[in-house]
Amino acid sequence: MKLNTLLIEFITEELPPNSLKELGEKFGQLITQELQEKNLVKNSDMRVFSTPRRLGVKILNVADRSDDKKKLIKLMPEKIGFDAKGQCSQALSKKLQSLNESDEAITRIKRKDEKGQTILYIEKNIAGINLEDILSQIINNCINQLPIKKMMSYQLADGWSSVNFVRPIKNLLILHGEKILKVSFLGFEANNKSFGHRFESKEKLLNIDHADNYEKILLDIGGVIANFNQRKEKIYTDIILATKSFKEEFHIIDDESLLNEVTALVEMPNILIGSFEEKFLKIPQECLILTMKVNQKYFPLFDKNNQLTNHFIIVSNLTPNDPINIIQGNEKVIRPRLADAGFFFEQDKKQSLKSLSKRLNSIVYHNKLGTQEERAGRVGTILKYIAKELDFKSNIDYKEFALISKADLLSLMVGEFPALQGVMGAIYASEDIQFRDIASAIEDHYKPKFSGDSLPRNLFGDYAALAEKFETLIGLFSINEQPTGDKDPFSLRRNAIGLIRILIEKNISLNFSNLIDKHSPKDKKDSMNILKEFIYERLSNYLKDKNFSSNEIDAVISLKPQRLNDIIKKLEAIKKFSTLEQSKDLASANKRVSNILKKYTGSIGNVDESLLKEAEEIQLFKVITKLNPLIKEGLGKKDFIGALNSLVDLKNPIDEFFENVMVNSESERIKINRHNLLKHLHISLNSVADISKLAN
């Protein structure tokens, strides 16, 4: 066995920039994982490569052949493998043949006692695998698992064969150390050649003499930084340096998404600074920023007051001696974009939001859920319900707000830049005295838009955002449009996480289950139960990110809390409670009580004190009766740790009850009464959370 560095590189046509980083990382992980499963890699160290037209991975300590090994293979029970006279059965003979073993193998059979019977095993020599023989299969397996939304089908050079990949392949480089592996894939034979920068490589074709030298050759001769993260770091560092050099007080606002995208568009970044006429700064800066980022992939520059300037960062893929032509070319391209934005803005201002809202009936929201006007009506109804439930005093017409909040969908600006919905509505509302007070809520009712996004700025914005998200979830779940697998075209997971964040982080005590029941179609009860479970699943994921254990989360969520605002406090209380010496015994006791009650088919009612005969059940009843007011008081004050700590007094009475009292008494009345006692005990133990989950 010989260890060396394995290098795989695909040269392709231009790869999709938005998924390049993920593609590169996943490709490297999958190749490494497959090699590990085949025992072909020792103490692996992986480095992935992804540029606009290449995917690659370099893995250290890859063996040219895996070790031979012995494997103990399970055959069958002895009573099936041999008859009463000890002769080999037909079943055993066929099994050995399937393993390419002769009758001689019977002498090598081993016996093991398992669960009261003897099982037959045979030790088989498994020959090692040659890397060269298996690599084509490994690559194919990995390609099929890549997160490619849509494969591209294209014809090979022979004019007959068609293959599928994210983009057509132009070259395949595979080296193990300095050796070219004889591997074929998607119509290409592996070689030791690569391509440098399309315009600035010193040589048209690069000769890679050893896998370890790949990055150096590509950088020094090819003019390419092959590693995505290294290229990304250079872009960010060079932007900061260029900005400070241009004007000390200028800065960019960090934008991970844009940084990843421009990293995926260049192989050797060159940072330049362009500008546009100051007159365009009269346009709302949100419009200008989006135009620069989305259309041109520029980084806008801001002054020390975080105000947009008329300067921007260009990340070029060319490094000429004189960059003036590149800068002027980009400035020439951005001007008509900004002029369009200015035109849209001026035209939009000629119409009021109210007049725009009257045309919402012309936009279909969903063919099964009606128009945006109908949808706004539902949002307004839910918003009115939330305001009433939470005793929110306001003169706002909730249905009118819902219509106005969607009015900007008909604006020219949002038509050109859909990401500005809500933002433009807020800008236009702030210039209309009738709607100025609700301007921020118009923008905020879409929040949070993404992971880590800010929440609405005020209470009405919170309620508006909740109404928007509940309407979305209720409506789409009612027509069975819930997410499946990794597909979530309506962003329902994001909506669920958004309402969870608002309810918890803004401490809003709203019964979300009642809201769903109140505003869903009467014949869609099953769909709404699925929706509630969907919200609890998202809640569980949200809480795991808060560093609570699965058992702690399960203890709280299993009780299906309908108000989520105090769930963090409950979890913190559970975490503290689980450190108490008595918590494990109480958790086990609660589990025992739950199991007993599950098997009991009779009805549960109040405890009849006159039927409590044993001293232990009398004592348990007294302790429960004494603790219940304390627990109730703790729950009322949100003192969940206090409520849980009071359960400690139940430990000894519970232990003594189960030690000395027979629950299933011969007397039916006493038996029922004892089950009633356990039911009341169960309620006390589960007052904050189902502590039996802590016993798992």
Q: Each residue of 579-601: pLDDT tens digit?
A: 998 899 999 999 999 999 988 87
Least confident of 139-148, 299-308, 386-395: 139-148
* CA-wise closest residue to 504 among 558, 433, 556: 556
| Element containing residue 59 per DSSP (H, E) | strand 54-63
Q: Each residue of 8-63: pLDDT tens digit?
A: 999 999 999 999 999 999 999 999 999 999 999 877 789 999 999 999 999 999 99
* Per-residue confidence (pLDDT) for residue 457, from 0 to 100: 95
Q: How far is CA 48 from CA 26, 29, 548, in A?
A: 9, 9, 33
Q: Which residues contact 471 (CB under 8 A, 6 or more apart)?
A: 375, 378, 379, 382, 519
d(CA 216, CA 207): 12
Mean pLDDT score, 81-87: 83
Domains in the chain, start-ordered, CATH in brackets?
Answer: 3-64+131-220 (3.30.70), 69-126 (no CATH), 228-348 (no CATH), 354-545 (1.10.3210), 569-695 (1.10.730.10)
Cα angle at 505 between 502 and 511, to 5 degrees?
Answer: 55
* CA-wise closest residue to 75 among 141, 124, 38: 124
* Per-residue confidence (pLDDT) for residue 366, from 0 to 100: 96
Confidence band (pLDDT; 50, 70, 90) for 108? confident
Q: Which residues contact 301 (CB under 8 A, 6 or more apart)?
A: 243, 246, 250, 251, 252, 273, 308, 309, 311, 312, 313
Q: Is 292 left (phi over 0), alpha (psi -120 to 50) or beta?
A: alpha
* Per-residue confidence (pLDDT) for residue 634, from 0 to 100: 92
d(CA 688, CA 641): 9
pLDDT at 85 over 90: no
| Element containing residue 165 per DSSP (H, E) | strand 162-165
Q: Each residue of 682-693: pLDDT tens digit?
A: 999 999 999 999
Confirm whether pTM is higher than 0.85: no
Q: Each residue of 128-158: pLDDT tens digit?
A: 899 999 999 999 999 989 988 888 888 888 7
pLDDT at 111 over 90: no
Task: Name the H helices within 77-167.
Answer: 78-81, 90-98, 131-145
Mean pLDDT score, 273-283: 96
* CA-wise closest residue to 223 among 317, 322, 314, 324: 317
* CA-wise closest residue to 608 among 621, 620, 627, 626: 621
How far, in whole angstroms, is CA 626 from its chain's centroid?
Answer: 46
User: What's the mean pLDDT when you consider all of the chain?
Assistant: 93
